[in-house]
Amino acid sequence: MTLLDPIPVLPADDVGPVHFIAIGGAGMSGIAQLYAERGIEVTGSDQADSPALRRLAAWGIHTYVGHRAEQIGTARTVVVSSAVRESNPELAAARDKGLLVWHRSAALAALMLGRTAVSVSGTHGKTTTSAMTAMMLTAAGADPSYVVGAPLQSSGSSAHLGAGSTFVVEADESDGSFRQYPTSVAVVTNVEADHLDNWLTPEAYAAGFVQFCSSRTVRSVILDADDIGCRRLAASLQGGLSPVTTVGESESADIRLTDIVDSGGAARATITWPGGTGELRLALPGRHNLHNAAAAFAVGHHLGLDPVQLLEGAARFAGTERRFELVADVAGVRIVDDYAHHPTEIAATLKAARAAAGTGRVVACFQPHLYSRTRDFAIEFGRALAAADIVMLTDVYGAREDPMPGVSSELVVTAAREAGADVRYVPALIDVPAALAAVAREGDLILTLGAGDITTAGPALARLLEAARG
């Protein structure tokens, strides 16, 4: 995959019928849902059945399991994700017919035209921050449209077509597609090297955020004052046309967090903004989530919304799927699933888990995502995982990549052991639930970590523990 350059887009109402390849993905399914809500004829396909496909049926969307050329039907536009290869028969048929082929970011940009677009990006925390932003704006009466990267716990949906003038999106930087959106308010949670398979160098990756925040449509930028990558980004934006608002714990932050408490699976802080102060309360653990919420608050403050209502929305935010999501609590063992797939994300998640676990052990089961990321960050993964009491590794989830010679989860196993971790290597994912059940004991908090199919291990472990309990 290579970086995507922005392209001109037509209004969404002018491009139907639309066929989505890989329609079951969290982001893709949300976009497809909004097209259907707009009254546009939508079809789609994915390689396997899923709850997302079944949810889409409720919107009148006909979906297919498997990919065949004839399934594009009468579509005028075909939408793909970066994971779809040119060899896909539906994509090949669309090219042969000369149909309009859009990356999903272009399809989303078409929906955003004419709205005040809030685009939330960053190396970590995009999904949670964009979801928090959507929910806090909703609580303040703005009724925004939104598309985020995971279904919200409160609704089971990753998208909503609102009556308000604001459109909140999770803006993916991995392939450069965040530059596609007609962004008015640009939010960056943090900047740390990642996705070097596309960007090649940390410098190029950081420069992409400068481009994102310097787009001709951007009217305001919101950055985290405590993140070194954001501080460098702010320096690069000095003298630009868009004012920068900073959030965080730093004394220099425009919207500041103080008196932080993070324990027992929840977090709170005093938040101070120009002209006011209040209490920011979250039903989620983690200092990082307080930073995410501060960025979401800053969006609402910029839009002139009631700060009390924004904070009430934050307190009611129940999280999104796969972001420190409680899967089960069986026989005194809590099983939590999290999408963390970068060393910094794992470190933050384990820190939150430690606060939530109290006197119990933290058991972390990690499935590395992408061979290139495993190669680039194996040592950092090992060091981050060493914060757990027990570490379990399973094989790399390759996703869009083919295996690379000499690259496997054993690189992380070695690094974790060198960092002092108690490590178990269980290569086959099918064997992971039983291996976790064998080490589990009352009081444990067991985490399944990664962006692949490790998410299936938690429910399977819960079933084993239930059966053992009788």
Cβ neighbours for 314, distance < 8 A, ≥ 6 positions apart:
132, 135, 136, 280, 281, 282, 293, 296, 297
Looking at residue 59, what is its pLDDT? 87
Looking at residue 3, what is its pLDDT? 87
Q: Give residue for tokens 């998410």.
A: 455
Q: What angle do CA 152, 153, 159 make, to 5 degrees?
A: 20
C-alpha dist (Å) from residue 417 to 324, 347, 393, 414, 436:
25, 16, 11, 5, 18
Task: Give per-residue pLDDT as tens, 2-12.
Answer: 788 999 999 99
156, with CB counted inside 10 A (0-12, 13-18, 19+), is: exposed
Instruction: Please tell us whether the domain made up of 113-316 is placed in CATH 3.40.1190.10.
Output: yes
What would the mean pLDDT of 360-374 be, rounded to a whole number?
96
Domain positions in the chain are: 14-103, 113-316, 325-469
Beta strands in 357-409 (DSSP E): 362-366, 390-393
Helix (H) / strand (E) element for 78: namely: strand 77-80
Looking at residue 97, what is its pLDDT? 97
241 pLDDT tier (thresholds 50, 70, 90): confident
SS3 137: helix
Class of domain 14-103: alpha beta
Looking at residue 384, what is its pLDDT? 97
Flag whether pLDDT at 264 surpasses 90.
no
> CATH number of the domain at 325-469, out of 3.40.50.150, 1.10.3130.10, 3.90.190.20, 3.40.630.30?
3.90.190.20
User: Directed axis angle between helix 371-385 and helix 410-418, to 10°?
Assistant: 20
Beta strands in 394-458 (DSSP E): 423-425, 445-449
Structure tokens at 161: 């077509």
Enzyme catalytic residues: 126-127, 170
Helix (H) / strand (E) element for 18: namely: strand 18-21
Residue 5 is given by DSSP the state P
Q: For a pLDDT cut of 90, what percent of the chain falls above it?
A: 85
Residue-averaged pLDDT of the chain:
95
Beta strands in 178-273 (DSSP E): 183-188, 220-224, 244-248, 255-263, 266-273
Task: Give per-residue pLDDT as tens, 19-41.
Answer: 999 999 878 999 999 999 999 99
Q: For a pLDDT cut of 70, what percent of the chain falls above it?
A: 100
Distance, CA of 396 to CA of 369 (rounded, Å): 6
Helix (H) / strand (E) element for 90: namely: helix 89-97
What would the mean pLDDT of 326-344 be, rounded to a whole number?
94
Cβ neighbours for 216, distance < 8 A, ≥ 6 positions apart:
none
Task: Give per-residue pLDDT as tens, 404-418.
Answer: 999 999 999 999 999
pTM attached to this predicted model: 0.86
Looking at residue 320, what is its pLDDT? 86
Distance, CA of 56 to CA of 45 (rounded, Å): 11
Helices (H), 114-201: 126-139, 196-199
386 pLDDT tier (thresholds 50, 70, 90): very high
Of residues 4, 6, 3, the one with CA closest to residue 214: 6
Q: Of 110-114, 174-178, 434-438, where does mean pLDDT reach its minimum?
A: 174-178
Flag whether pLDDT at 157 surpasses 90.
no
Looking at residue 299, what is its pLDDT? 98
Looking at residue 1, what is its pLDDT? 53
Flag whether pLDDT at 263 surpasses 90.
no
Task: Give per-residue pLDDT as tens, 198-235.
Answer: 899 999 999 999 999 999 999 999 999 999 999 999 99
Flag whether pLDDT at 171 surpasses 90.
yes
- Peptide bond just before 17 cis, omega within 30 deg: yes
Helices (H), 172-329: 196-199, 202-213, 228-237, 287-302, 307-316
What would the mean pLDDT of 249-255 be, rounded to a whole number?
97
What would the mean pLDDT of 74-86 be, rounded to a whole number?
93
Of residues 77, 121, 76, the one with CA closest to residue 103: 77
Of residues 16, 25, 29, 22, the one with CA closest to residue 45: 22
